[in-house]
Amino acid sequence: MSSVQTTKQFSEKYKLGSPFDLDNDIAYHAWLENKMDDYPQAIEDIVVEVSDTKKLSIAEFKVIRDLVKKTNMAIYAGNTGSDPDKAIPVSLANQFGLSLPDDNMGADDGITALRVAGDEWRGEYIPYTNRSIHWHTDGYYNTAEHQIQSLLLHCVTPAASGGENALLDPEIIYIRLRQENPDYIRALMEPDVMMIPANINKEGEMIRPDRYGPVFSMLPDGNLHMRYTARTRSIEWKQDPLVLAAVALLHDYLHTDSPYIYRGTLQPGQGLISNNVLHDRSGFEDDDEHKRLLYRLRYYQRVAQA
């Protein structure tokens, strides 16, 4: 009898641990059951209409918070239309505890205006062109200390055509890989699994040195973090059979018609709030009246769950 109680106490203790700890199957399966229960399977299911983006009602806040808890993302649909006021996405972010923006090269006060740019250095980077962008998480080339935990995209103006995003919760791909072979996860957690070669500009100056890092890592709070890019140039994968098999499976999953891959084009006043989910962007065309403008905000914190 006492040994049964001991086993139960043991189980309870491990349920409290991180589900992303490969040595903790109890926590993983408890979490998995809850995770997949009623998981949204259409982009419409993660859209939340809000009446004032700058000041959500308690009910609106809770719906967005709970969606982010479930799928690591939500889409708010405000009625600010093409109002270019940067305070709209900033105040939305602040309501979810996001206050430490990433200071990247193109950011002005932590906000990056994604539009087709004419100036020279921006034109060298795909986000500032109308070209498609392969699957990735933001900031995969950042140092371990500056990992992007959350990503917001706010639409001021969509393109005349195209500019659709695909979105996928990194925990879904984690589940798929762990289900196939837990050693895939182990391999992708190695700190030297992906290497992003140095960024050197035309003048030969080094903007960023070679960066090594894992795909999956466990944050101090037990949450999962993912770094990934589907690019085949400007990335070197560790030449290990397990790594290559895991990356191939990951790549293949991103090209399936999984119901967990959401696809949609943000409309004026709409935005994505996410824990840096996997995403891509289709190519687009602007015309005189429709020049695509999205604000991008990246933070070193996750979306608050309180």
Q: Give the binding site for Fe ion (CB under 5 A).
A: 138
Rg (CA), the chain: 20
- Give least dist CB 139 to Fe ion, A: 9
Q: Which residue is nearest to Fe ion (CB)?
A: 138
Own/partner contacts of 181-188, CB < 8 Å, gap of 24 or more, are 181/242, 181/245, 181/246, 182/22, 183/242, 184/242, 184/245, 184/246, 184/249, 185/22, 185/216, 185/246, 186/22, 186/242, 187/240, 187/242, 187/243, 187/246, 188/214, 188/215, 188/216, 188/243, 188/246, 188/247
Q: How far is CA 229 from the centre of its chain?
A: 11
Cβ distance to Fe ion smaller for residue 138 or 169:
138
Cβ distance to Fe ion smaller for residue 19 or 110:
110
Cβ distance to Fe ion smaller for residue 24 or 274:
274
- Give least dist CB 298 to Fe ion, A: 9
- Give least dist CB 54 to Fe ion, A: 24
Which two tokens mark 100? 């430490």
- Give least dist CB 153 to Fe ion, A: 8
- Give least dist CB 281 to Fe ion, A: 7
Cβ distance to Fe ion smaller for residue 224 or 297:
297
Cβ distance to Fe ion smaller for residue 148 or 172:
148
